[in-house]
Amino acid sequence: MNTRKSPKPKYHSYSLSVIQLSITLVTLAGVSFRAVSKLFRCLNLYMHLSLGSPTHTTVLNRTKKQGIYQFREKAYYNRERWVLIADESIQFGNKKLLLVLAVSGERCNSGQALTYGDLTPPVLKVSDSWKSEDVAAEIRDHIDLKQVAYCISDTGSNLTCAFKRLNRKHIPDVNHKFSRIVQLVFENDPMFVGYTKAMASLRAQKSMNKIARIVPPNQRVMSRYMNLTPLFKWGMKMIVLPDGHQLTGDEKSALSFMEPYRDFIFDTYHMLTTLNKIQQLLKNEGFNTKNRKEALSMLLTMKSDNALNVRNHVERYLKDLASLTKKGRTVCCSSDIIESCFSRYKEVVKGNKSVEISDLCLCIAAMLGDNIFDEAKTAQAMEAISMKCVKDWKDTNVCKTLFAEKQELNRKIERYYF
């Protein structure tokens, strides 16, 4: 696209191409608002362009406008059946962000992984907490429940109870479900507890040592059971290395604790890789009769006692999914796309943690749909959405931040005492 000839929206100083590029640099490339401005200056200087250099405030405002443009009126959702994907962010300060995404039911039946372009955001709102009745009320206000085929989320009690209140089918996210199953089986297992404690001790003692190259990867504190594979993959490598004489004497001594865990590591690693394959199958292609059979056949390779226990839980999960699925249909059973939205949002705001959840959350809405790649729709978004619309949306959907509350308190103190 020739940015020099690209038209400008009404009342805007920059061309549509510059506006589109600046927004996508933030939402898709993860570039900070200030860095976007610097990037344009570099492009102009070294590529001899005349694109202009929008300030970080300009980029921020354009992104917020694009975000608000992605919202739809309630009547929009009456044209077809929809699947809702819901989640709430981890707490930022004393606030939580509720996000509900809608995707066409036919798109979910296609057997392909979802993309940002498939999504619209019925609900994006901040509150001190999200009780089930509050979540249900927000969903009911933004979409006719008759148009909702089913809902996907983790197994958080507020979300599952909200779907019960709405009398909508709930499909548990496969990633969270498998993580919970692994936790139930392993969290009190003496071999698992001993192995992870020994790894933690090795990492704490040897991270800055001459044998630091054999130190195990960090164990996650939050959601640790979602990502155990790297710990056991490391264990597999460390067990094999001494046999090939690749380690020094000090390294062999440091790893001597692993020998009693040899069979446990091999069995658990095989179980985890099998679960990962099943997850990838269900995430990418959805759940249906064919994929259920394929998943069950993979489970047959799991033979150890712990693996058999996990296998029984997974089989029950697949049976429950089958009971919720109409014959010949494919259901989406992954909320990875919403986790990805939150992850990108955290990247955008990582330099602004003091302001907590503000109207910057509109960056999530801005990254959804494919409107940002359409010049006509981008022009419409810039012209139709005013900064007053942004302010009104903020007043309705975003609570006063802790940072703002502190500023207000400081002003009162200064007026009274100084």
Which domains does the chain show, CATH number per domain? 74-172+335-354 (3.30.420), 178-324 (no CATH)
Of all residues in the chain, what percent carry a pLDDT higher than 90? 61
Confidence category of residue 226, pLDDT binned at 50, 70, 90: confident
Could you give the C-alpha distances from 304 to 225, 237, 296, 297, 298, in angstroms and in order? Answer: 19, 20, 16, 16, 14
Tell me what pLDDT residue 150 has.
95
pLDDT higher at 414 or 344: 344
Tell me what pLDDT residue 3 has.
45
Residue partners of 258: CB distance under 8 A and separation at least 6: 198, 235, 238, 239, 265
The top-scoring range by mean pLDDT among 93-97, 147-151, 234-238, 240-244 is 147-151
Confidence category of residue 98, pLDDT binned at 50, 70, 90: very high
User: 108 with 42: CB under 8 angstroms?
Assistant: no
Could you give the C-alpha distances from 361 to 239, 358, 388, in angstroms and in order? Answer: 46, 6, 17
Confidence category of residue 190, pLDDT binned at 50, 70, 90: very high
Confidence category of residue 263, pLDDT binned at 50, 70, 90: very high
Confidence category of residue 327, pLDDT binned at 50, 70, 90: confident
Tell me what pLDDT residue 351 has.
60
Tell me what pLDDT residue 296 has.
95
Q: Tens of pLDDT along 49-88?
A: 888 899 999 999 999 999 999 999 999 999 899 999 999 9
Residue partners of 263: CB distance under 8 A and separation at least 6: none
As a whole number, mean pLDDT of residues 310-331 equals: 92
Residue 144, phi-psi category: left (phi > 0), alpha (psi -120 to 50), beta (remainder): beta
Distance CA 76, CA 143 (A): 9
Is the whole model's pTM more than 0.85, yes or no?
Answer: yes
pLDDT over 50 at 392, yes or no: yes
Distance CA 225, CA 192 (A): 12
pLDDT over 90 at 243, yes or no: no
Could you give the C-alpha distances from 6 to 38, 43, 381, in angstroms and in order? Answer: 21, 17, 16
Confidence category of residue 299, pLDDT binned at 50, 70, 90: very high
